[in-house]
Structures are given as C-alpha cells and as structure tokens.
C-alpha cells in the first residue's frame, strides 16, 4: 500500500499535464500513487496520461462519466485512494522533486494537517515563521492576517489524512459541481475534525498562473457560474457557523465576507452597467469591509486575552 496519494483532477490541461506528471513520477520518495481523475475534457490530456501510465504502474486513471468539476473530481480521487495520506496537485502546477520525501519525515508524528510553503510564480512567495499551532489559535491568526496570508484557502499546499478527509465528506454531497471557492469549502469541512496544524517552512509546490483557468474567464456565463459557486459555498459555510467554537466562527465568517467581496467585484465589473446599481454595489462592499474589521478586532482581543501573539 502506498504511503501518499497525489490526486490530479484533470480537465483540458494538455500544455501542462506532462510537467505535472513528471514532477510526481520523479519524486525522490517513491512510495506514492498518482491518481489522475479524467473530468471529460476535449483535448489530449488523458492520452498523454495513458502513455505515462503504460510506463509507470503507480499512475491510476479514474474516468468520470461526465464533467463534474474540480471539487467532485478531487473527492472521487480520495474515494479511490489506497494511501493513508492525501495531496492534491493541480495539473497546471508542479511539485518540487523532494516534496514527498520532505513531507514523509513528518507523517508518522500523528500530524492531522501539514501546511507547507509554495512558490507563487509571478507574485511574492509566502513564508510562515511558526511551526506548530493549536487549531484555535491558528484560526484567530488567520482572521488577523487574512488580507496578506491565504494559506488556509488552497488545498494544493497541504497534506491530509485520508481517514479525516472521508470523515469530512460523509455528510455532504461530495459530487456537487463546484469550480470556485471549492478549496475553502473542503478545508473548512476538514479543520472541524482536527486539533492542531503543523507548518512546514519549505517551498515544495509551484503554483503557476494558467491564463485559461476559470478565474481568468471573462464571459458572461462563466462569471455567472463563478458567482453561483461562491453563493453555494457561502451558504454551506454559514450553515457550519452553528454550534461551533468562537474561533472557528470568526474564521468562517471572515472567509464568507472575503468571498462576498469577490462576488461583488465580479458583479460590478462584468455584470452591471447601470450607474445606480454600481453605486449600490460599492455601498454593499463598504459595509462588508466594516464587518470584516469588526471580526478581525474580535480575533485580536481573544488572542490578547490568551496572551498569544497575533503576528506571524
């Protein structure tokens, strides 16, 4: 049984998939499996994967019956995993060749979630100064440095346990089609089940800008779809706010507000031409910003009461 599963949800990434696969195949730590979930694209991505699979038995291809989107495809990969630990790799990105070897050194220490640094091509790189963090204090810090550090949002810079991932997915529709803010949704589901987080201050992942990604689509229908996804995830996050700790509540609400601002910006820029409607959107945005500042202040006060530093 492999130690680590690397899951690649794959849809129309022909220019990038070979680079991603090679970064997995050539890992210095060999006890891995590479699960490629075919999400029914119309390019030659899966044909390329099939050629590699003929040469490397660690590559497993799962074919979706129809296009299900990133969230469902990742979950299908989890359900088909044979490893105790899960990593996610977007096929337009790639891993450092020592990523799995470095991570493996921390897997047998009962770490429920490992977060590592990454190279953000085209932007400044993230650096985390602390190593181990209680989940409650982490959520408060996350609130306070929300604008600068988004290390909770993505799934690509994390190592999960399969057991807790399955536990996180058991009471939801794991096959719902979501293409935007799906990372945040999965992470908030997951962190409900953990007590601490381990931060690994090494850059192990290369996040690359894909000019054809969903976040760069400007068509009206695509923007509408993005907004619907944001609204769906925000609704789910709001539901999570019931009967949870105050730290979790603050972090969840701030994430909702951040997504709401992104939705308002998209609506303002692409979907609204009327001056009065644009003005109303500006007012809504300011109100959300005020609410965010309120929750950030609350997080700072709680940390101060705990005598814990709010800085990173």
Asked if residue 36 has pLDDT above 80, the reply is: yes
Q: Per DSSP, which regions of the chain are E strands? A: 4-10, 32-38, 59-63, 85-88, 94-95, 113-120, 132-134, 158-161, 196-207
| Candidate ranges 35-39, 140-144, 237-241; pick with highest mean pLDDT | 35-39
Which pLDDT score is estimated for 79?
98
Which pLDDT score is estimated for 205?
95
Asked if residue 42 has pLDDT above 80, the reply is: yes
Asked if residue 47 has pLDDT above 80, the reply is: yes
Cβ(119)–Cβ(156) below 8 Å:
no
- 77-121 pLDDT, tens digit each: 999 999 999 999 999 999 999 999 999 999 977 789 999 988 887
In the chain, what is the straight-line distance between the N-terminal and C-terminal CA atoms, in Å? 38
For 273-305, b/e burial (b = at least 16 CB within 10 A) is: eeeeeeeebeebbeebeeebeebbebbeebbee
d(C-alpha 198, C-alpha 135), whole Å: 10
Tell how many helices (H) and how many strands (E) occur in the chain.
10, 9
* Banded model confidence at residue 142, pLDDT cuts 50, 70, 90: confident
- 235-293 pLDDT, tens digit each: 999 998 887 889 999 999 999 999 999 999 999 999 999 999 999 999 999 999 999 99
d(C-alpha 292, C-alpha 289), whole Å: 5
Inter-CA distances, 131 with 40, 69, 114, Å: 40, 34, 10
Asked if residue 166 has pLDDT above 70, the reply is: yes
d(C-alpha 18, C-alpha 56), whole Å: 13
- 213-232 pLDDT, tens digit each: 555 556 778 899 999 999 99
């Amino acid at each position: 049984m492999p130690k680590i599963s690397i899951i690649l949800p794959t849809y129309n990434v022909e220019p990038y998939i070979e680079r991603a696969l090679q970064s997995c195949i050539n890992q210095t730590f060999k006890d891995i499996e590479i699960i490629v979930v075919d999400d029914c694209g119309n390019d030659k991505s899966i044909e390329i994967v099939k050629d590699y699979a003929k040469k490397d038995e660690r590559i497993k291809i799962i074919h979706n019956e129809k296009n299900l989107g990133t969230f469902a495809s990742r979950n299908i990969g989890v359900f088909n995993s044979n490893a105790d630990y899960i990593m996610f790799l977007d096929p337009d990105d790639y891993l450092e060749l020592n990523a799995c070897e470095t991570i493996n050194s921390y897997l047998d220490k009962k770490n429920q979630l490992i977060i590592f640094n990454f190279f953000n091509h085209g932007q400044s790189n993230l650096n985390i100064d602390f190593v181990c963090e209680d989940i409650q204090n982490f959520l408060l810090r996350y609130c306070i440095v929300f604008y600068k550090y988004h290390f909770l949002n993505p799934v690509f810079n994390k190592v999960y346990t399969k057991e807790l991932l399955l536990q996180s997915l058991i009471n939801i529709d794991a096959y719902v089609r979501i293409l935007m803010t799906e990372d945040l949704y999965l992470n908030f589901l997951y962190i409900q089940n953990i007590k601490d987080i381990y931060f690994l201050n090494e850059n192990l992942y290369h996040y690359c800008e894909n000019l054809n990604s969903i976040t760069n689509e400007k068509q009206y229908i695509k923007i509408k779809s993005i907004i619907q996804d944001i609204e769906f995830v925000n609704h789910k996050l709001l539901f999570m706010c019931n009967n949870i700790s105050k730290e979790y509540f603050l972090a969840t609400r701030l994430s909702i507000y951040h997504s709401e601002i992104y939705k308002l910006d998209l609506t303002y820029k692409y979907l609204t031409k009327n001056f009065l409607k644009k003005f109303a959107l500006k007012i809504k945005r300011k109100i959300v910003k005020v609410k965010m500042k309120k929750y950030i202040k609350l997080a700072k006060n709680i940390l101060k009461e705990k005598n814990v530093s709010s800085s990173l």
